[in-house]
Structure 1
Amino acid sequence: MTSPPPKIPESVLVVIHTPDLQVLLIERADQPGYWQSVTGSKDLPEESLRETAWREVAEETGIRVGTAQVPDEALRDWSLRNVYEIYPVWRHRYADGVTHNTEHVFGLTVPVGTPVTLAPREHLRYVWLPWREAADRCFSPSNAEAILHLPQHLPQPLRQPGLTA
């Protein structure tokens, strides 16, 4: 059996939220107690970041972007980039010598009550939390920071006066 090719050190982080700022968090199967938003690396160098976001959201939550319920424009590139050191526990997935990853942040607005179907090999449970509480629960500092930026990145019709991070 051959081992999988090394992961590409370029990924997406997708903050999935409802119009009333409930944020979806998922618990990692390989690290119980580690809560996060949808994340994932590009599968191929030529895969666009938007394609990576669509794929990862579908794989990890069963939510399909580009449907009547979740149209393409519900996925927004926040133009935020995080470069961080890859946790040692996951570094073996990358080529030798790769120590840092570039993460591109997206937001995805979904209707309240959107069904979630987890990939059982990847995640144990999910929860919808108010945005500040979700940020507090994240194990990843970059994920928590992204969630705290949520009010600044809402589409115009969803912005609420006086709501700031």
Structure 2
Amino acid sequence: MRVWNMLWAVERNLAGVAAGLCILAMVFITVGGIFGRYVLHTDLIPGGYNLIERVLFPLIVFWALPIAHKEGLFPRFELLADLLPRRGAMAVGAAVLAVEIAVYAAILYFSGTFVAKATASGRTMQIGTDTWPLWPVAVMMPIAFLLMLVEMLRLLWSDLTALRRA
């Protein structure tokens, strides 16, 4: 159980603290850019829009994915299960979860492959007039999908255990 509590703490901290800091940075960059443009008639934060678009917003999304799945904010495809008896509903739920696991495992594989190739090739992104390495942002994709996959495997295990007991 300590492992699950530790994983859930990582998910909460990524979604709450890290994503919250990204949103705060987005606010400061936006306000600073507007203030500089309209009051000082200069660009205070060169590449601010690129920084928000290519760094901060993707980080917010990928850091929020695991906690959003854990909290049940993703659409569930178990509408048919409500019409079935309890055991049938549990079986449909487990089957749907198994398909989701297969899909997210494929996404994890391909995003991990993309990050490995991008890191090996030294891929960069343009922020303003500079280029920044892509890997610090891109590595968050497989981490998020791995956290989601671990949670889904835990849910599948508990569903299969409950189905066996029913």
- Do these two structures clear the TM 0.5 threshold for a shared fold by scoring above it? no
TM normalised by structure 1 equals: 0.22
Greater radius of gyration (CA)? 2
TM normalised by structure 2 equals: 0.21
